[in-house]
């Protein structure tokens, strides 16, 4: 049986303010993944473009973070409704199993729905302003992002429950740097697509490995993602596939001249998912032993866009 790793409820005396509870519900520590993607797109657009449109860049960064926060909140609502979070005794806090603000009675389901709606409303309003300033390319990217962000876990789409979660995350996070580039430069480029694809694949790998500790609870809740559909010994191959594709796509981009040769400096980052893959390989059915692998995958997915942004800025 898996070892329960659910922490005690947060100290309510330290969360008396509604704003503090709302912030906790958005899982702010995990928004850094989105931050890196936007910074990658900004770096790939060049200093001159940023200098000319820095207010739009700042607004785009804020809206991207708000959209990610909204997705986190609506995902918690969906997992409350389907019973996944309540049944999850093998979660690896704070990485999997949601924020648990509903389960710990810090916010009601109604509060969480209103929070998600408010965040998405801000994203849509701000996004329309950016579209007015930047044109139809950004509209297409924004519509895809908001639709997939909502539909990832919420009915009627419930994309993750249908085995489409990894594809959804791959698409959204690959589009994120492209959206920043469109905002600053007017159009996407093949070079930015090449830079963004490994980032999207690493984000998908992060989602994938995070589902192993939640596997039993998700199965009970009817969430039929691939980690549930496959036996643990089979599902572990999916992680290997995603991180290997991320590496190969980076090497292909460098070989094709879409990224500079100095992007080879990123290769040591793949030691992190390599170590995570070894841990997962031996412990796919033992969630309590996957914590180091989760941390290593988080580190790789966060460091890649930041490091590449620094390289492109040089």
d(Cα 28, Cα 51) in Å, to the nearest integer?
28
User: Which comes out higher in pLDDT, residue 88 or 295?
Assistant: 295
pLDDT at 10: 53
Domain residue spans of the chain:
12-313
Q: Is residue 305 scored above 70 in pLDDT?
A: yes
3-class secondary-structure state, position 162 = helix
Mean pLDDT, residues 2-7: 48
d(Cα 146, Cα 70) in Å, to the nearest integer?
9
Q: What per-residue string of b and e applies to 26-46 under the rule 16 or more CB within 10 Å gives b?
A: bbeebbbbbbbbbbbbbbbbe
pLDDT at 76: 95
Evaluate whether 115 touches 72 at the Cβ level (below 8 Å): no
Q: Is residue 1 scored above 50 in pLDDT?
A: no
Q: pLDDT tens-digit profile of 134-153?
A: 888 889 999 999 999 999 99
Q: pLDDT tens-digit profile of 110-133?
A: 999 999 999 999 999 999 999 998
Candidates 290, 118, 282; CA nearest to 206 is 290
pTM for the predicted model, two decimal places: 0.93
Candidates 39, 82, 4, 83; CA nearest to 306 is 39
Mean pLDDT, residues 271-295: 97
């Amino acid at each position: 049986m898996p070892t329960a790793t659910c922490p005690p409820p947060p100290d309510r005396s330290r969360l008396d303010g509604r704003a503090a509870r709302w912030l906790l519900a958005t899982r702010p520590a995990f928004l850094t993944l989105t931050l890196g993607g936007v910074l990658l797109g900004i770096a790939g657009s060049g200093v001159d473009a940023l200098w000319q449109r820095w207010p739009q860049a700042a607004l785009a960064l804020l809206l991207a973070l708000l959209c990610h926060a909204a997705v986190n909140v609506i995902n918690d609502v969906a997992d409350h409704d389907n019973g996944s979070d309540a049944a999850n005794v093998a979660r690896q806090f704070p990485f999997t199993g949601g924020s648990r603000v509903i389960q710990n009675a810090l916010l009601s389901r109604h509060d969480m729905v209103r929070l998600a709606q408010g965040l998405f409303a801000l994203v849509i309003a701000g996004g329309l302003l950016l579209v007015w300033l930047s044109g139809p390319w950004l509209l297409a990217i924004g519509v895809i992002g908001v639709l997939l962000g909502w539909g990832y876990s919420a009915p009627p789409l419930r994309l993750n429950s249908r085995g489409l979660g990894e594809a959804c995350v791959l698409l959204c996070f690959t589009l994120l740097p492209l959206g920043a580039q469109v905002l600053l430069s007017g159009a996407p480029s093949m070079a930015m697509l090449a830079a963004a694809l490994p980032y999207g694949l690493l984000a998908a790998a992060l989602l994938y490995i995070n589902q192993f500790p939640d596997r039993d609870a998700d199965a009970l809740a009817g969430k039929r993602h691939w980690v549930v559909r496959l036996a643990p010994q089979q599902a572990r191959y999916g992680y290997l596939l995603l991180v290997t594709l991320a590496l190969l796509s980076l090497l292909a981009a460098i070989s094709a001249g879409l990224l500079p040769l100095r992007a080879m400096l990123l290769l040591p980052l793949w030691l992190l998912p390599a170590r995570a893959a070894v841990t997962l390989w031996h412990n796919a059915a033992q969630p309590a032993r996957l914590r180091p692998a989760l941390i290593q995958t988080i580190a790789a997915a966060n460091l890649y866009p930041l490091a590449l942004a620094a390289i492109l800025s040089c």
